Amino acid sequence: MEYRKAVDADVPLLADINRQLIEDEWDGGGMSMERLEARMRRWLEEGDYQATLFIENGQTVAYSLVSVDDEDDSAFIRHFFVLREHRGGGVGKRAIALLMAEIIPPSARVTLDVLASNGGGHHFWKSVGFQDYAIRMERLPVAEKSSGG
């Protein structure tokens, strides 16, 4: 497996991969491709995140979006996604091994979020050495009732 840092020309591909990630996690989305591209471009331009494409046999097989804080010696994996047609053959584990060995500093404390509904993701992250740390909870806003008048 090889990897390369994503560049501006990759933004449409990255946005499409992000769309697939959203579909897998949320059963849909709601964000247009234009909005996904704009958000991805902003993340890359501002330098807060590094997008990495993982490649096998000339094909993109996985992607990560990571923020590394050298001052705090920490990293946050915002996105990690194995393309659907490449799942189940160890691609994810190989990509994470590269990510941890060559992109994220070995001394960094690495965190990520896994949706409570994503049992497969939770199992995957435990299988590559992550452990439960906290449970983030949320309460969604209640839609206002219209006052019939």
Q: What are phi and psi of 5, to 5 degrees?
A: -70, 135
Q: Tokens in use for 104?
A: 């994220």
How far, in Å, are 3, 71, 82, 134 from residue 59 at the CA level?
11, 35, 12, 36
Domains of the chain: 2-127 (3.40.630.30)
CB 132 within 8 A of CB 116: no
Across the 149 residues of the chain, what is the mean pLDDT of every consecutive 10-residue run? 95 91 73 90 92 97 96 96 93 97 96 90 95 90 68
pLDDT at 14: 93
Count of Cβ atoms closer than 10 Å to residue 53 Cβ: 20
User: Which residue, 125, 9, 92, 103, is CA-closest to 52?
Assistant: 103
Q: Which amino acid would we find at residue 1? A: M
Q: What is the DSSP letter of 90?
A: S
CB 63 within 8 A of CB 14: yes
Q: How many residues does the chain have?
A: 149
User: Which residue, 103, 109, 148, is CA-closest to 129?
Assistant: 109
Confidence (pTM): 0.86
Count of Cβ atoms closer than 10 Å to residue 116 Cβ: 10
Q: What is the DSSP letter of 89?
A: S
User: Which residue, 133, 125, 70, is CA-closest to 103?
Assistant: 70
